[in-house]
Chain A
């Protein structure tokens, strides 16, 4: 599904990312961990063609993201608040994204009804603009918007941060259903090792832009990761 081929990114002399080869098959739940500055967000930004790599290319579904824009039709993403339109209400925001993804009003309403539990009555019909919602509720809106329009790839940067424990558990359930039932490829980054090990079948550890571990998740993975990071 996604092939990362000798992708590197340099700012001046500083190299922030250097990945030789990484292959993410369809339907895999892929976790990215690493300390601050490891290059997680940079990799996601390159995948979404928001940053140009210094060398190499990312090919998703046979489309080189830098050359064609066709990947946008099947990729949903939420990286940070700049993916929200602050002056819209959540409903208007979902409708805007829905419009761009070819969903009409009924489609959007029925889509959102699946997430009633996830929203926990804190997002919809609150008569508030996105800018006035709490960080956690903003995140809920962004994550749900990333899943609109039946994407084949979903990219979420730090989805668990700022969420309350109940919502974290619900999000894990949602992400698992995505990969098992719908064969969606999910890419998640997180600082919380237990969350990623729970959600992801495969975990890649980045350190200063380089892949240092590539693990198929097992019972021992959490301990292994904790040992690695306990320096």
Chain B
């Protein structure tokens, strides 16, 4: 039985759509994974010596232990957002003669090996080895490590229990908040109590059996909950949200563009991924705080330009790079309706430009950092409006990857291809270079002026470029229909 499941897993992994991602993307994702593993590993090895040096009077293990409670709670919160029990996958197995008990055990057992549980080990195992090398009791350290591994697993299963309930989540947040507050104001240091618990495990390793007991209880609870819900109308069913229609008749003033603008607004608001893009663009507003507050960056004008482009361009860049793939699911419909392609493209342009404009208005508080900074932001906004919006539309005609809007938002790379990496050059590096060159060799103000002038020029010549872009889209129509028709 298990071997059947493992074979399915194997095929699912190698035949999944994400496995067919472009090689560049795979390498990038690989780097991220490696980065996290190495960071955890480095901390695991180094933390003992760092603590020894910084706090020579205290025992590094005790210091680590005193923070573990926070780490566990933070882990739980992180998992609450990111980790879901993969129940949907067993739907096709329900009508096959497999005992439901083994299905449930399989789903739960599989979750024990999720990446969320593995990553922590890259910290705990090297740390434990260092402890043993440094002369701690081997049995004590092993008991401690055993407890940590079991705790990670317990958090894993606790998460699935509370995952459906917002109330449980809120109480954990409150708990964590109040613990930190109590600690801050020296009322009651719960962390040290938690620390003492883990210290006790080290001195009496047999106590680690308690965490085994906790894990078994949590597993049983999960098992019971899931076993009762292995029916199509229960846990396996995806929730259907009630449709909410908002009156968008104000957009009718845009005339011919109105149907498309309304459609785009609904597209953005009603799909997870586009909604994430939209909300993230407001976070990008704060991007400047990283750069403008640090002296090193203030002396690197090109980097200031970089930050400024992001402040106002968060939406245009993130939304624009996937035009027209956002509409890939109903591309055939659009192509068989009677409207000029220009309207469709114009509506996307209006959307990008008005969002950039809005973000520019919201960036006014940056005046606090002085007029120079604000002039850079203004130049960046002009460049985003005049040049980037048009360039993104043009680059979009190279998009050949379907985007399935029903898939999740965060960390979803569907639709990404080499295009997305290549467009960065003209979008970001070109204005940075321009700014740097003029700034360095001609004089400070000329940098703003040239970057902003290119934006204004783009705006003036918009119709000319739009004609060109429209022709390109019409020429590539069949290739796009064909590519968008394929499963993502």
B335 close to chain A: CB less than 8 A: yes
User: Which residue on chain B has the smallest CB distance to residue A101?
Assistant: B338
**Of B240, B258, B266, B339, which one neighbours A87 at CB under 8 angstroms?**
B266
Chain A residue contacts of B258, Cβ below 8 A: 99
Known: A92-B266, A99-B259. A50 touches B243 (CB 8 A): no
Q: Pick the contact of B332 from A50, A101, A127 — CB < 8 Å?
A: A50
Inter-chain contact B330/A85, CB cutoff 8 Å: yes
Contacts of B406 in A (CB 8 A): 86, 131
A79 vs B481: C-alpha distance in the bound complex, in angstroms? Answer: 14
A97-B337 contact in complex given A52-B478, A88-B266, A131-B406, C-beta closer than 8 Å: yes
Q: Is B409 an interface residue (CB 8 A)?
A: no
Q: Mark A65-92, 1 if CB is under 8 A from B, else 0.
A: 0000100110101011011111111011
- A86-B329, A87-B271, A99-B259 given; A128·B240 CB < 8 A: yes
Determine how close the nearest CB of chain B comes to the CB of A182; give it in whole angstroms: 19
User: Per-position contact with B for A124-138: 1 when CB-CB < 8 Å, else 0?
Assistant: 001111011000000
A119: CB under 8 A from chain B?
Answer: no
Q: Report the Cα distance A165→B147, complex, angstroms.
A: 62
- A96 CB-CB contact with B under 8 Å: yes
Task: For the complex, give the distance between the alpha carbons of A49 and B481 in Å.
Answer: 10
The answer to whether A87 touches B405 (Cβ under 8 A) is yes
Q: B262 — which chain A residues lie within 8 A by C-beta?
A: 92, 96
| Closest A residue, CB atoms, query B328 | A82
- B485 lies within 8 A of A86 (CB): no
Minimum distance in angstroms from B161 CB to a CB of chain A? 28
Residues of A within 8 Å of B294, CB to CB, are: none
By DSSP majority rule, is chain B's interface helix, strand, loop, or mixed?
helix
**Among residues 233 to 292 in chain B, which have CB atoms less than 8 Å away from a CB atom of chain A?**
240-245, 258-259, 262-263, 266-267, 270-271
Report how far A183 CA is from B263 CA in the complex, Å. 33
A127 near B335 with CB under 8 A, answer no
B336 within 8 Å of A by Cβ? Answer: yes
- The docked-state distance in angstroms from the alpha carbon of A132 to that of B237 is 12
Tally of chain B residues near chain A (CB < 8 A): 30
- For chain A, the count of residues having a C-beta within 8 Å of the partner chain is 34
For A74, give the chain B residue with the smallest CB separation. B338
Q: How far is the CA of A80 from the CA of B331 in the complex (A)?
A: 12
B28 within 8 Å of A (CB atoms) = no
Q: A82-B330, A87-B267 are in contact. Are A75 and B336 (CB under 8 A)?
A: yes
Q: How far is the CA of A140 from the CA of B266 in the complex (A)?
A: 22
B482: chain A residues at CB < 8 Å are: 51
A62 to B262, CA, bound (A): 35
A178 an interface residue at 8 Å Cβ cutoff?
Answer: no
B242 lies within 8 A of A127 (CB): yes
B1, CB-defined interface residue at 8 Å: no
- Give chain B residues whose Cβ lies under 8 Å from the Cβ of A127: 242-244
In angstroms, Cα B248 to Cα A92, docked, is 11
Is A174 an interface residue, CB under 8 A from the partner? no
A49 to chain B, nearest CB (A): 8
B96 within 8 A of A: no
Closest A residue by C-beta to B332? A82
Determine which of A52, A86, A89, A126 lies in contact with B330 in the assembled complex, contact meaning CB atoms within 8 Å.
Answer: A86
Task: Specify which of B242, B337, B338, B478 is in contact with A51 (CB 8 Å cutoff).
Answer: B478
**A88-B266, A128-B240, A132-B240 as given contacts; A100 in contact with B330, CB under 8 Å:** no
Closest to B478 in A: A52
Known: A52-B478, A89-B243. A84 touches B335 (CB 8 A): no
Least distance between B477 CB and chain A CB atoms (Å):
8
Interface presence of B333 (CB below 8 A): yes
Contacts A/B (CB < 8 Å), 15 sampled: A50-B478, A73-B338, A75-B336, A79-B332, A80-B332, A82-B333, A83-B333, A83-B336, A87-B405, A89-B245, A127-B242, A127-B243, A129-B270, A131-B406, A132-B240
- Beyond known contacts A50-B332, A127-B242, A131-B406: 10 more, CB 8 A cutoff: A50-B335, A50-B336, A50-B478, A51-B481, A84-B330, A87-B405, A100-B338, A126-B243, A128-B240, A132-B240
- Give residues in B with beta carbon < 8 Å to A: 240-245, 258-259, 262-263, 266-267, 270-271, 329-333, 335-339, 405-406, 478, 481-482, 485
